[in-house]
Amino acid sequence: MHTLRLTILACTSLLLAACGGGNSENPLDAAVLTPNLESVEQCARSDIESILSNRLASASTDTDFTFYLESSDGQAFSYSRGDADLTRSYESASTSKWVSAAIILQVVDRGLMALDDHPQDYLPKSVWDLPEDSVLKDITLAQLLSFTSGLDQPQLCDNLPNADFFQCVSNIADDHLQSTNLPGGIFHYGSNHLQVAGAMAVEAGGYSSWLELFDEFKAVTGLFPSSHYSLPSQNNPRLAGGMTWTATDYIDFIRAFRDADFYSSTAPVEQATSDQIVGAVVSNSPAMSGINEDWHYGFGLWIECHESSFNSTCAETPTVSSPGAYGAYPFLNTSNGAFGLIARQGQLGSFGEGYALLDGVRDLVDNWVECQ
């Protein structure tokens, strides 16, 4: 049995300012939560859940939310505030990066393409036509999934419902004709990488669209029955941030991903959750600019490291996550198999609100997972 420990973690004013929360107070009121903690002498999940519920109930955030936590043995804790619940639909923002990368990796797992393949191996010249002397000719699928492809120019058509998906991919190529970015050399968090990778997967599998590929994924796996890629439209889905999902659907996805249920082996999961940007210069990282965290990246996933700088120790047993700009926060501890989700849709740019919420109960989450 474990002795329950609690450390009250504060969200600093720097964090909240970067998050756009505009509130320098700790979002979790410690004064409400400290009574009777010392009387808890032995580990009991029910005791921890009571404290965790109180902590979440006292949180000062910009919108209601559902907090879900599940251990490797299948036990779960769920708490919802206001009209939030597990079945409500939320716009995903960047939480869809995890899903899109996982789907593309399934196409790889089926042997239809490989991580060292290039866009021009699948995309016709009408879509992907870079000159022979372009440094971006060497872009690989692995670099696209790890956001190190060098494709760093944002595209307006990512936000246009009536735009054509493949024409947008062609625009990405056109806008990088003069690029000097060496593939693998820089990490730039953005949408281009997954748009190109998704187009490769569509072509490699012989699908007519990402919608058809996703529909097949849903049919084969049984996942995401109430979710879809809808933004800016189904015909022009933004793979890095265009899903609409329910918490129940996303929870089932994380569990299936953890257990490699839709892969032939654990290799895709191990690849996705390992550091893929070693040696790359970080040119754009919302983790660094928004919350001053030196996280690295796998395939569609942040690899969280809460040290002063990313190092091999924290990379060995990481928590991986894919938080979104509306504050939703899916996470998975790859060492103990526990995972969770903060489901919410606050203001655009409120990523830090979700981070602060999780960070403020991190010790309780750890104690709950350890308690068996």
pLDDT in tens, 234-282: 999 999 999 999 999 999 999 999 999 999 999 999 999 999 999 999 9
Please tell me the predicted confidence (pLDDT) of residue 14: 29
Closest to 66 in 3D by CA, of 287, 249, 229: 249
Backbone angles phi, psi at 152, to 5 degrees: -115, 10
Average pLDDT in the chain: 88
Residue 144 in tokens: 């696209």
Angle between helices 45-57 and 362-370 (to 10 degrees): 160
- 196 contacts 169 by C-beta, under 8 angstroms: yes
pLDDT at 364 over 70: yes
Give Cα 319 distance to the centre of its chain.
Answer: 11
Closest to 147 in 3D by CA, of 191, 106, 113, 107: 191
pLDDT at 24 over 80: no
Please tell me the predicted confidence (pLDDT) of residue 349: 86
Expressed in angstroms, the distance from the first to the final Cα of the chain is 8
Backbone angles phi, psi at 70, to 5 degrees: -140, 135
- Model confidence at 311, in pLDDT bands (50, 70, 90)? confident
The secondary structure of the chain in percent helix, strand, coil, rounded to multiples of 5, reads 40, 10, 50
Please tell me the predicted confidence (pLDDT) of residue 61: 87
Summarised one tens digit per residue, pLDDT across range 32-56 is 343 344 434 578 999 999 999 999 9
Distance separating alpha carbons of residues 289 and 318, to the nearest angstrom: 21
Looking only at the bridges linking them, the beta strands covering 319-321 and 76-80 are: unpaired
Cis amide prior to 232 (ω within 30 degrees): yes
* 73: CB partners within 8 A, 6+ apart: 372
Residue 302 in tokens: 């942040």
Residue 252 in tokens: 């089932």
Q: Quick check: helix, strand or coil at residue 205? A: helix
Alpha helices in 26-181 (DSSP H): 30-33, 45-57, 96-109, 141-145, 165-174
Neighbours of 164 (CB within 10 A): 13
Mean pLDDT of 116-126: 97
- 368 contacts 45 by C-beta, under 8 angstroms: yes
Please tell me the predicted confidence (pLDDT) of residue 317: 64
- Model confidence at 312, in pLDDT bands (50, 70, 90)? confident
Distance separating alpha carbons of residues 213 and 221, to the nearest angstrom: 12
Whether the full predicted model's pTM is greater than 0.85, yes or no, is: yes
Closest to 243 in 3D by CA, of 157, 343, 356, 331: 343
Give, in degrees to the nearest 5, the angle at Cα 142 between 138 and 146.
110
Buried (b) or exposed (e) across 47-79, using 16+ Cβ within 10 A?
A: bbbebbebbbebbebbbbbbbbbbbeeeeebbb
Handedness of CA 113, 117, 120, 121 (dihedral sign): negative
Domains in the chain and their CATH numbers?
1-83+352-372 (no CATH), 93-323 (3.40.710.10)
Distance separating alpha carbons of residues 156 and 178, to the nearest angstrom: 19
Closest to 305 in 3D by CA, of 264, 352, 273: 273
Closest to 143 in 3D by CA, of 169, 104, 93: 104
Residue 157 in tokens: 């058509």
Please tell me the predicted confidence (pLDDT) of residue 315: 67
Distance separating alpha carbons of residues 241 and 194, to the nearest angstrom: 10
In single-letter form, the type of residue at position 138 comes to: D
DSSP 10: P
- Model confidence at 198, in pLDDT bands (50, 70, 90)? very high
